[in-house]
Structure 1
Amino acid sequence: MEDFILIPTFLALLVVTYTDIRYRRVPRIVIGAGLGTQLVCLIVLSTITQYWDNLIMSIVCMLVCTAIQYILALIRPGALGLGDVTAAALITFALGWLGFIPILLWWLYSGICGLIQLAVAHIRHHTSIPFIPAMTLSFCASVATQMLILT
C-alpha cells in the first residue's frame, strides 16, 4: 500500500502538466483535489501504520516549501507564477511523507530541469515557459531516487 501512496499527487500533476503546456494555466481545483485526496490517503495510511510523524512532516514541509516558493514568486514577479507555488505545495506535501531528502532532491532536480528549459527557450526565442512539467519530472525523479537508491 505504501508503494502507491503518492498516486493522487502523480495523477493531479499529470493533469496540471497538460494544462500548463497547453494553456499556460494551473487549475487550482485540480491542485486542491490532489491535496485533499493525498491528505485522505496519508491520514488512512497514518492510521494503519501509526506513522503520524510522517503526516506531520508532510504538513510542515508543505508549509515551509510553499512559503519559500511564494517568496521567490514575489521577489521576481512573472518568473514563477502562483500556479507553480500551489503545485509546489502539492508536491512537497506528498514528498514530505518520504522525508526531507526527497524534497531536497526535488529542489535540485527542479533547478536542473528549469535551467535546461531556460536554455532551450532562449535558443527557440520563447518568452513563456511552462514550469510544471519540470516540477512533475523532478517529483518522479525524486520518488524514484528515494525508492531505488535511498531505501
Structure 2
Amino acid sequence: MVTLCCLPSLLFGTLLSGLDIRTRRVPRLLVLSWLLAQCAAWSFLAWQSHRWLPLAMALMGALGAMVIQLALALARPGALGLGDVSVALPLGCLVGWFGFDAFVAWWLCMACLGALWVGAWRLAARRIRKVPFVPPMVCAALVAPLLA
C-alpha cells in the first residue's frame, strides 16, 4: 500500500522534471496539485492503518525541506530558483513519511546526483547556463527511502 501511495510523486515528479528540462519553468499550480495529491495519499494510508506519526513526519518533512531549500536559494541568489524551492515541499512530504534517516539520505543523494547532473549538463549543453534541477531532486527522493 505504501508503494501505491508514492504514485502521485512518481507521476507529478516525472511531469515536472520533463517541464523543467524543456522550459526551465516549474508551474506552481502543478506543484500545489502534487502536494495535495501526496498529502491525500498519505492521509488515506494513515487513516487506513491507524498510524498517524508517519503523517506528521511527512508534513514536517515537507516544511523542513522547503525551509532548507529556501535558505540555500537565499544564500546564493541565482543558484536555485523558486521552482526548486516549491518542488521541495511535495518531495519532503514524500520522503518525510519514511523517517529522518530517509530525509537525510534524500539530501545526500540530492547532493551527489545533483553534482553529477550539473556536470553532465554543462558538458552536453555548453552554451546553456541554467541547469534544470528538478530531475535530480525527484530521482534522489525516489531512491532515498530504499537506502534508509
Q: TM-score normalized by structure 1?
A: 0.90
SS at match of 2:46: helix
Deviation at 1:28, TM superposition (A): 1.2
Q: Which runs of 4+ in 1 moved over 3 A?
A: 121-124
Moved more, 17-26 or 61-70: 61-70
Name the count of aligned residue pairs.
146
Tell me the residue number matched to 1:136. 138
Instruction: Write out aligned runs for 1:93-132 (5 A).
Output: 93-124=93-124, 125=126, 126-132=128-134
1:62 counterpart letter in structure 2: A
Deviation at 1:129, TM superposition (A): 0.4
Identity of aligned residues (%): 32
- Deviation digits for residues 57-91 of structure 1, max 9, x if unmatched? 11112112211110111111110111101111110
2:129 counterpart letter in structure 1: T
Tell me the residue number matched to 1:32. 32
Structure 2 residues not aligned, in runs of 5+ = none
- What is the alpha-carbon distance in structure 2 between the residues aligned to residue 36 and residue 140 of structure 1? 18
Tell me the residue number matched to 1:2. 2
Tell me the residue number matched to 2:64. 64
Structure 1 residues not aligned, in runs of 5+ = 147-151
2:139 counterpart letter in structure 1: L
CA root-mean-square deviation: 1.4
